[in-house]
Structure 1
Amino acid sequence: MSQNNRIFDDLGRLMNEAAGVADGVRREVETVVKSQAQRIVVDMDLVKREDFDALRELVQVQGEEIDALRKELAALKVAKAN
């Protein structure tokens, strides 16, 4: 009976070690995948979100300024025609 217990103890220890190894492999794979994903993003030369938002705001402000200038120009043309 004690021989059976020892076999089960050894089997349990072996399974725990295998689980630890599997967890280490999982972490290593995650690290490699994350590194590859970061490298791909850098190679794609993507714009940072902050830069995109700043440029979008600038374009919006300039669009509003252009609209105001168009209205002013139209008013000046009407005033000149009179």
Structure 2
Amino acid sequence: MQSENRLFDDFVKMMNGAAGTLAGMGREAEAGLKDRAKDWIGGLDFVTREEFEAVKAMAVAARDEADALRARLDALEAKAAKPKAAPKASPESQG
């Protein structure tokens, strides 16, 4: 019986070692894939989240400014489109 337990213990140790080795290989493979993905994505013209948010904020500000200018232009056009009343003739010019 003692020899069977020893054989079983050796088998368990071997399997634990193999599991540890496979886990290490998995972590190494994952790190390698992440590095390759970062290199690949870095070669593309992607922007960071911070850059995107900054451009988005500038676009919103530009849109707000354009809306304000459009409203101002509409007001000026409405003012210019009103028919002007004929200037009243002064009594001096009539006579």
> Structure 1 residue 5: deviation in Å?
1.4
Structure 1 residue runs of 5 or longer lacking an equivalent are none
CA distance in 1, matches of 2:16, 2:78: 87
Structure showing the higher helix proportion among its residues:
1
Partner of 2:59: 59
Partner of 1:28: 28
TM-score under structure 1 length normalisation = 0.89
Structure 2 residue runs of 5 or longer lacking an equivalent are 83-95
Task: Indicate the percent of aligned positions where both proteins have the same amino acid.
Answer: 39
TM-score under structure 2 length normalisation = 0.78
Query: What CA deviation, in whole Å up to 9, does each residue of 1:45-81 have, x standing for no partner?
Result: 2011111111111111111111111111121122233
CA distance in 2, matches of 1:81, 1:7: 102
**Residue correspondences, number:** 82
Partner of 1:76: 76
The alignment yields a C-alpha RMSD, in angstroms, of: 1.2
